[in-house]
Amino acid sequence: MKNLFFITLLLVMALSCSGQQTQQAASQHPAAAEITFSFTRQSGAASNQYAIWIENAQGQHIKTIYATRWTANGGWSQRPTSIPLWVDRSNLSGMSSAQIDAVSSATPRTGSVTYTWDGTNSNGELVPAGDYTLILEGTLRWEDQVYYRAPIRLGQGEATPQISIEYIGNLMAERSMISNVSVKVLR
């Protein structure tokens, strides 16, 4: 009975130490970025789709932070104009259901939304310090798109990068779908 108690105590201590080491490693990582924006749901079809992801300096997809569930769960094959750059860069067609579920959820309600990148790649591994790009792509209506891009330099400390914006298409009313975008590099 004493041996069972001793083994249980050792196991509890080992698990406790493991959790502390994981938290310590995460807090020491030089990477984290946050994107905040105002989202205004649009009425009608072929809208309200967006994705946020990280690319490295070579333009390779590193990690999807968020994607709207409709597009991620097959809507992209029904409507190829729904966040097409993310669909292509993320290799969505090659993702498993579990991988898709991990990055997608329902389209949010109108209001301010915030997403955080934890400095890891799609496999959960910490990425090295260096240059990355945070991309927010939105499908405003049918083939009308918006792209926000923010350069992120990990390992240089806190920063507020300048965000570039590109609209494709002519619809002015739907441009309110995503607005007031800000990005912060936290570490």
Render pLDDT for 39-96 as a digit per residue (tens, 0 to 9): 999 988 889 999 999 999 999 999 999 999 999 998 898 999 999 999 999 999 888 9
Domain boundaries, position 165? 32-185
Say yes or no: 48 and 109 in one domain.
yes
Question: What's the rounded mean pLDDT across residues 24-33?
Answer: 54
Structure-token pair, residue 106? 């329902």
Say yes or no: 49 and 12 in one domain.
no
109 C-beta neighbours (distance < 10 Å), count: 9
Is 70 exceeded by the pLDDT of residue 20? no
Say yes or no: 5 and 48 in one domain.
no
Say yes or no: 106 and 138 in one domain.
yes
Say yes or no: 103 and 37 in one domain.
yes
Say what the pTM is. Answer: 0.82
Say yes or no: 114 and 168 in one domain.
yes
Q: What percent of the chain has pLDDT over 70?
A: 83
Q: What percent of the chain has pLDDT over 90?
A: 63
Q: 18-50 burial, b if ≥16 CB within 10 A, otherwise e?
A: eeeeeeeeeeebbbbbebebebeebeeebbbbb
Amino acid at site 185:
V
Burial of 152 (0-12, 13-18, 19+ CB in 10 A): buried
Say yes or no: 26 and 65 in one domain.
no
Lowest mean pLDDT segment, chosen from 47-56, 106-115, 132-141, 172-181: 172-181
Say yes or no: 89 and 164 in one domain.
yes
Is 70 exceeded by the pLDDT of residue 145? yes
Say yes or no: 26 and 37 in one domain.
no
Q: pLDDT value at position 46?
A: 87
Q: pLDDT value at position 172?
A: 80
What's the total number of domains in the chain? Answer: 2
Say yes or no: 110 and 130 in one domain.
yes
Which position has the higher pLDDT, 24 or 186? 186
Say yes or no: 79 and 5 in one domain.
no
- C-alpha 172, offset from chain centre: 26
Is 60 exceeded by the pLDDT of residue 21? no
Is 80 exceeded by the pLDDT of residue 14? no
Q: Quick one: pLDDT band at residue 2, thresholds 50, 70, 90?
A: low
Say yes or no: 19 and 102 in one domain.
no
Q: pLDDT value at position 93?
A: 87
Instruction: Give backbone dihedrals phi and psi of 12, rounded to 5 degrees, phi first.
Output: -60, -45
